[in-house]
Amino acid sequence: MSVRIQTPRIYLWIIRVISLWLPKESRLEWRREWEAEIVSRWLLLSEWERLNAQSKLDLFKRVQGAISDVLWFQQSRTRLTLALLNMLTAIFTGFGALQEFIIGGIRYQKMQLALISLAGIFVGILFMTSGIALLRRWSIVRRLIILTGVLSILLHVYEALRPHRNMGFPPLLVGAGYGLVMLVVFEWNRKRNMVS
């Protein structure tokens, strides 16, 4: 009489598919951990002769939790991406504003340009600081992000408005648009935080 050997193959297959969402460098270890847990539990249930529909469903529910686990890694990745984008925006905003300050403010001695470019340099420094704060996980990171985002939006919208019109549509989109995206992504990421 042949005995049908049951294996947790379907669960391992699900884990393998979910693992594709992970960053490459963490994928192998993550999969190994989950697979070891599933196989060990399966063997234990089999040994205790408790491998029934209910226990299989429980195991399936646990495997579903792997999605939340993967999202945690994504969250770390989002944090890193935000930090790098903040630093990049800091360089663009800061250098643009510095150039404006030197040419418009110092060379042509336009007071409005000098003031607005100084504000731009300040926003650039804020972008850089909040980028470092994200990487170093400073406790004031949220306040810094909100301040940076709001100031960036206000500054870029003001600069694009009449009568001065110091900048065109593309810088407005980058400055104000990224400020808004940064705020939304940061808050969304924070809400997903599970243990803080």
Partner 1 sequence: MHLSFSGAAILQALAHNYRYGFDIMDVTGLPSGTVYPALRRLEQAGLVVSKWEDEETARKDLRPARKYYELTKGGRATLSEAVARYRGLERAIKKAAKGVKPSRT
Binding residues vs partner 1 (CB under 8 A): 29, 32-33, 35-37, 39-41, 43, 61-69, 71-73, 193-196
| Residue placing its CB nearer to partner 1 in the complex, 38 or 97 | 38
| Residue placing its CB nearer to partner 1 in the complex, 31 or 156 | 31
Q: Work out how close the CB of 136 gets to partner 1 at its nearest, in angstroms, rounded to a whole number.
A: 13
| Residue placing its CB nearer to partner 1 in the complex, 58 or 115 | 58
| Residue placing its CB nearer to partner 1 in the complex, 66 or 176 | 66
| Residue placing its CB nearer to partner 1 in the complex, 15 or 116 | 15
Q: Work out how close the CB of 1 gets to partner 1 at its nearest, in angstroms, rounded to a whole number.
A: 24
Task: Please report the beta strands in 27-100, taking only residues with DSSP state E, as ranges in sequence order.
Answer: none
Q: Work out how close the CB of 37 gets to partner 1 at its nearest, in angstroms, rounded to a whole number.
A: 5
Q: Which long-range contacts (CB under 8 A, 24 or more apart) does 128-136 make?
A: 128/86, 128/87, 128/90, 128/91, 128/94, 130/86, 131/82, 131/83, 131/84, 131/85, 131/86, 131/87, 131/90, 132/83, 132/87, 134/79, 134/80, 134/82, 134/83, 134/86, 135/79, 135/80, 135/83
Q: Work out how close the CB of 78 gets to partner 1 at its nearest, in angstroms, rounded to a whole number.
A: 14
Q: Work out how close the CB of 178 gets to partner 1 at its nearest, in angstroms, rounded to a whole number.
A: 27
Find how far residue 187's CA is from the centre of its chain.
10
CB 63 within 8 A of CB 14: yes
